[in-house]
Structure 1
């Protein structure tokens, strides 16, 4: 897929925001740990991806009621849904000077059109050495779901089934969608959030 970059200003993809709070002490501590282990920027990015994918639990998978939104609280609570995990990965990468954006897919809630649809969040990353953006999905692996840090080909969590009404959006946003943040803020718990997630990009 040819990605459509939302802003021509690369600085927008390095920005710190309320949700992508990479100067928070817990985020800085994790960044320094990754830098001590990684040999170079690419290695650090892959380690960050693997950490968020594997060590931050997906709240739906663990049937949690807790909602995390900001990168720092997602790290502190060691859990979050796909949106929160993409916020954390963006904070870790941006904090290391790696431009990172937000991407979305429209997927079925439970595998069938009858179950309804919801947005799924992931990231896009830019490496100056490669002159290219590529997508990575830190959702978290489980039986039937397998994502990897792979530039080409992509190895994302969900293969999109257009015949079921699913959609792969090509846009790379510099900030999380407001509709996504609102659904997280105004849901009383994670079980309600499962149904309150936006169904599509307007």
Structure 2
């Protein structure tokens, strides 16, 4: 991972999407970690809560499209991008820098080898002096993403031969084309026909 900013404060910002200063978001993050003094354990707790407690909208058979962290928490659901927004907000609320990573995958099930984006998070653990990458999408249908400070374990393995990869850049804010797609549609079925696509620059 290559952070787009060397300033960790950029990965702690509360904005319109990662709105961790919203009282409900901030209070939930603080309550979940109140009895946990260790930074790594706090990050693990928040990651596992978002992964396991907030169902992926498609898995749950829901039609609502959420985008901001507060929307995801309020409605209790989100797709991968939206869940990454909530996880980043939770982490930032307890002063753990968090950013956004994007993986390019074949649409599942494959449609004309179409490639779409998948959203996940980078977390900076100051006690370890390093970034780790995690995927809070949700473990269903054989998916087994885990929090690990040693061996990265994401939701989806990549097939280089199919053109799948993860962008090297660790973004401080969700990318605009993801946000615009989430804001554009009122139903997941409509969004599924127009999911965010790969960027032009693989190293973006």
TM tier relative to shorter chain = over 0.9
- Kindly indicate whether the alpha-carbon contact (under 8 Å) linking 2:47 and 2:136 is maintained by their aligned counterparts in 1: yes
Offset of residue 37 of structure 1:
3.4
- Kindly indicate whether the alpha-carbon contact (under 8 Å) linking 1:58 and 1:80 is maintained by their aligned counterparts in 2: yes
Stretches of structure 2 that go unaligned for 5 or more consecutive residues are none
Superposed, 1:45-64 pairs within 5 Å as 45-64=43-62
Moved over 4 A (4+): none
Superposed, 1:42-121 pairs within 5 Å as 42-112=40-110, 114=112, 116-121=114-119
Give the Cα separation in 1 of the matches to 2:38 and 2:166: 31
- Kindly indicate whether the alpha-carbon contact (under 8 Å) linking 1:112 and 1:164 is maintained by their aligned counterparts in 2: no
Match of residue 169, structure 2, among 164, 168, 171: 171
Superposed, 1:1-202 pairs within 5 Å as 3-112=1-110, 114=112, 116-202=114-200
Give the Cα separation in 1 of the matches to 2:129 and 2:178: 29
- Kindly indicate whether the alpha-carbon contact (under 8 Å) linking 1:187 and 1:193 is maintained by their aligned counterparts in 2: yes
- Kindly indicate whether the alpha-carbon contact (under 8 Å) linking 2:144 and 2:155 is maintained by their aligned counterparts in 1: yes
| TM score, norm. by length of structure 1 | 0.95
Give the Cα separation in 2 of the matches to 1:113 and 1:47: 36
Aligned residues: 200
Stretches of structure 1 that go unaligned for 5 or more consecutive residues are none
Give the Cα separation in 1 of the matches to 2:24 and 2:72: 10
Q: Give the CA RMSD over aligned residues.
A: 1.3
- Kindly indicate whether the alpha-carbon contact (under 8 Å) linking 2:181 and 2:195 is maintained by their aligned counterparts in 1: yes
Q: Deviations over 1:160-180 (max 9, x none)?
A: 111112122121000000000
Give the Cα separation in 1 of the matches to 2:148 and 2:197: 27
Offset of residue 116 of structure 1:
1.8
- Kindly indicate whether the alpha-carbon contact (under 8 Å) linking 2:51 and 2:138 is maintained by their aligned counterparts in 1: yes
